[in-house]
Chains A and B, each alone.
Chain A
Amino acid sequence: MKEHDIYEHEVLVIGGGLSGLRAALASLEEGADVAVISKVHPLRSHSVAAQGGINASLGNAPKAENDTWKDHAFDTVKGSDYLADQDAVEVMCKEAPDVVLELEHMGTVFSRLDDGKIAQRPFGGAGVPRTCYAADRTGHNLLHTLYEQNISEDLTFYNEYFVTSLVRKNGRILGCVSWDFEEGKVVGFASNVVILATGGYGRIYNRSTNALINTGDGAMLAYDVGVPLEDMEFIQFHPTTLYGSNILITEGARGEGGYLLNSEGERFMENYAPEAMELAPRDIVARAIITETEDGRAFEDEFVHLDITHLGESKIKERLPGIRQIAKDFAGIEPVQEPIPVQPGQHYSMGGIDVDTFGRTCIDGLFAVGECACVSVHGANRLGGNSLLETVVFGRRAGEKASEQLDERGSYDMNMIQEKMEEDRRMIDALLNTTEGSPYSEVMGDLRETMFEHFGVYRNEGSMKEGLLKLKQIKEDYDSIKIDNENRRFNTALVRALELRSMIKVAETVVLGSLKRKESRGSHYRRDYPERNDEKYLQHSIFTKTEDGPEVDYEEVTITQFKVKERGY
């Protein structure tokens, strides 16, 4: 720590989940001085909750011997409803086997086939069993592995710091400003490179599988300093989240052979995707469940059944132990004997910070990786098993690239960081000193409800316009939210209020993008425009910040080897 409370590091990674830790490790191995800043201890990051697996064309499973990265790339592009950039998908799928083997060598205990190779299971939208897994705790195992590797390299961690602003000068990143939970004060960080790895914005919705901490902070930080956001309207709704708490029930449950049944006991997917059935991509299965619910074929008008009882006790205990525990702990259900009540819930943010295949943004020295970024490899709908893959492939690429450019940078510019610190100090004091108005929790609740109701699985103009008006009110309410305590140390209410600031800004782009895209593609389904319109919208949405809120523009999708076709399953 230097005077004025500013720390210095060559590479600053914001976020300690899989993509952040992979990026940090890559930079450390290149000899850079690296620190990770996170609002939680890295092992508490949302990556830990990923269940089903990570895709790579290893060809280990029987009948998948001839799998290739090209097949993986085709499935990914088709799954994306042709919105993914094909050059980026190629990079990801080509590097997939290497990053998975690397993780195995670092110590991840993957599940195995009888011959001792890494086991692979079928997943939605994939032609062959391609998803490598560690039971149904794949994210947990990968995150612990990368954490272990980083502590072996003596990585510096700043845990429980909330980054409030990035600092840029002209086209260059200088560092960031953050709130230290424990000391209850603003501190600065000066660095040559900042890598954002803050995860998605799922918690702008209620009914989300996401950790409570997924509030879109990284996207907001980048957007605030002028980096465009991309494809923000594409929100993945996972078909099977546990009724009540919306905790994720992995696609692996269907990959292992689970059935979806409506209240008439029918495997209704045969009416929606007769070939792929329960293993159609997530957007299709989620819409099918909502349609069944609207047509009166759900239980209690709320949920359908995910039945895995026929898999038998031993297979459930071996392959899906985490799911069994979740069903018991959070729904009081023994899935060996009874079906699991499930409903669709927000799960993944396809959109994010506009970056290239090295994670670079338009600001020199500022990178973004993982769910907070949009490369774009998922397009309009992400396939299961591709998000863990994205984190490690692009985390590694960004970390390596970041360390290459350290020599080109000059000395740190402390003045601008101090100015920004002063500004954020005032912002936080103002929050702490406001005692009249709405509590943050009320405004946050309104936002989440609005987003789910008006920008959910099915969308249409009229409802979205109503949602837009509600969002305007929410924005006004935020300007006068109150905090009833003036503690500086570990002030949870203050941190939640700061998160809400991120959530509202990000939600504005989701709302604008959904209204402007007058077609249906992947996860974005409009009842008033039910068809895909390639002529007009085979385009990425690009959002930039202006004084009057976000503006949206459109940009070509990169197409290399896969022709745009109709998408059937």
Chain B
Amino acid sequence: MRLRVYRYDGKEEGYDDFTVPDKEGQTVLDALFFIQEELDDSLSFRYSCRGAVCGSCAMLIDKVPRLACRTQVQEVKEEEVDIARYQALEEGKSVSDDHILIEPLPHLEVKKDLVVDMDKFFENYGKIEPWIEAKKGLEKEHLMDPKRVRELEDYTNCIMCAACFGSCPVNGEKEGYLGPAALAKLYRFHKDPRDKRERLYLADHENGWWACDFYTNCRTVCPKDVPPNLGIGNARRELESEEDED
């Protein structure tokens, strides 16, 4: 298989083509390591767990944000991913049948090759104050209904890989938009019965809940099946009904 890989060294940008031998079960991350170890050791990309739990290796693979470690080389061309297309997923080199196109995640500044600046993503996450105020010296756990745990798990499963951020047309248009992951986290804390704070207001503005246009790309590309769109919809309904009561 051939891979066409985006390159940027701080000055010049472009694409390099590499041929990687076909191997059963080979992931895109394996292929990138093959390139790095055998063909061109100047290639930079992030990695850690290689098992789709750490969130390091989200990138554009054939114009779809995915984890490189979870994407099988042989399946890229077979898998149909139904997401709304927009400028960030159209520009650059185009997808073709004779190679897999590997590019950095959109909406984040490229530092080198496939390495992007994640600061903006984590700053947005920080804005929703993602923590519970812990009490000390308590002798028992809070009791929690197992059903509520399952609801929360839909959101706590987020691995902060930013695939959603890189797939969202609104993030492409609005510089300040918090993005799906941060909003999903905020919703998770809002729904946590242990968290006594009023929270929804933290995103009750034009760059928060109200910016989402429900393209649902976020949910489609999430490697952990987190549904930010549902959390955002629920939060909006709650805010609207509060307003009605006022």
Contacts and interface: CB of A to CB of B under 8 A. Distances in A.
A6 B173 CA distance: 40
A213 B57 CA distance: 14
A40 interface: yes
A489 B111 CA distance: 9
B132 interface: yes
Contact of A109 (B53, B70, B135, B149): B149
A111 B149 contact: yes
Contact of A483 (B41, B130, B140): B41
Interface centre among B52, B55, B156 (most CB of A within 10 A): B156
Interface centre among A102, A107, A149, A248 (most CB of B within 10 A): A107
Interface string B15-46: 00000000001000000000011101111111
Nearest to B148: A112
B51 A245 contact: yes
Contacts of A141: 156
Contacts of A105: 132, 134-136, 138, 141-142, 194
Contact of A493 (B36, B70, B138): B36
Interface residues of B, number: 60
Interface stretch (A61-69, A113-121, A224-232, A260-268): A113-121
Nearest to A152: B131
A439 B41 contact: yes
B43 A111 contact: no
Contact of A106 (B9, B37, B132, B146): B132
Interface residues of A, number: 60
Contacts of A330: 25, 51
Contacts of B43: 492
B131 A107 contact: yes
B141 A46 contact: no
A489 B146 CA distance: 48
Contact of A48 (B45, B49, B133): B49
A109 B156 contact: yes
Contacts of A491: 42, 44
A107 B134 contact: yes
A149 B130 CA distance: 8
Given A43-B160, A490-B112, A245 B140 contact: no
B79 to A, nearest CB: 12
Given A117-B141, A485-B41, 11 more contacts: A44-B49, A104-B141, A106-B131, A111-B146, A116-B145, A116-B146, A134-B156, A211-B54, A212-B48, A439-B41, A487-B112
Query: What 9 pairs between A and B have smallest CB-CB spacing?
Result: A116-B143, A485-B42, A107-B132, A441-B37, A493-B41, A152-B131, A148-B131, A490-B44, A490-B112
Interface of B: 9-10, 25, 36-38, 40-56, 70, 111-113, 115, 118, 122, 126, 129-136, 138-146, 149-150, 152-153, 156-157, 159-160, 189, 192, 194-195
29 contacts: A40-B46, A40-B54, A41-B118, A41-B122, A43-B55, A43-B160, A48-B53, A101-B140, A104-B141, A107-B195, A109-B156, A112-B146, A116-B143, A118-B141, A134-B156, A148-B131, A151-B130, A152-B133, A211-B54, A212-B50, A213-B48, A247-B50, A439-B41, A441-B38, A485-B41, A489-B111, A490-B112, A492-B41, A493-B36
